[in-house]
Amino acid sequence: MKNLQLILAGILVSVAGCQTGQPTPTAAIDNGSFMGLWNTYSHCQATSDIDHLNNDAVTLTKAAKHALRANTFILPLPSNSGKLVSTPAARLAVDITAMAAACSLRAGSVAVETGDFDTAKNLLRSVLSYQPQSEYAYYTLRANALLSQLEANIFEVTLNLP
């Protein structure tokens, strides 16, 4: 009878332990929210309206920052055994941060073409926030190139004024 009680208590503790974890409210985990982000990214690649592009870039950047914060993995274990557990691998098929960088870069390029230099600078500078991470080097190099072109054009215009 005592063994049966121990077994039953062990099962209850393990089931209760599995239920105590809080689900992370990451936009990328929920399929509907992810599809919304994918639709935003697709819209960003298809439109040329600077206001829509700016809104799409801001939406994706917020989602990317939220996904980066939510990816911190905390396992409630004693400190000496917590170091033996590795962080679980991400299970997303796409990189939301790359989507945000690509959309911001496209929106910045369109803003340059339409002459909205302040919006272009803001969008391109947001891409530079990904600079320390090597997987986003393409986006940051392109953003740096466009920003240096903008600054060169501004100097040419101001130098030609009487």
Please give the average per-residue pLDDT across 79-97, as a whole number: 64
For residue 88, give the 3-state DSSP assignment.
coil
Q: How confident is the model at residue 106 (pLDDT cuts 50, 70, 90)?
A: very high
The C-alpha atoms of residue 34 and residue 25 are separated, in whole angstroms, by 12
Tokens linked to 56? 């799409």
Q: Is the pLDDT of residue 129 over 50?
A: yes
For residue 29, give the 3-state DSSP assignment.
coil
The pLDDT score that the predictor gives to residue 111 is: 93
CB 37 within 8 A of CB 27: yes
The C-alpha atoms of residue 146 and residue 106 are separated, in whole angstroms, by 11
What share of the chain in percent tops pLDDT 90?
39
Q: Is the pLDDT of residue 26 over 50?
A: no
The C-alpha atoms of residue 122 and residue 160 are separated, in whole angstroms, by 25
> 106: how many CB neighbours lie within 10 A of its CB?
20
CB 91 within 8 A of CB 71: no
CB 26 within 8 A of CB 66: yes
Please give the average per-residue pLDDT across 69-89, as a whole number: 57
Q: Please choose, from the candidates 124, 146, 4, the residue with its C-alpha nearest in 3D space to the C-alpha of residue 154.
A: 146
The pLDDT score that the predictor gives to residue 67 is: 65
Write the CB contacts of 132 (distance below 8 Å, at least 6 apart in sequence).
Answer: none
What pTM did the predictor assign? 0.62
The pLDDT score that the predictor gives to residue 1 is: 72
Q: How would you write 50-74 as a 3-class SS string?
A: HHHHHHHHHHHHHHHHHHHHHCCCC
Please give the average per-residue pLDDT across 131-135, as a whole number: 78
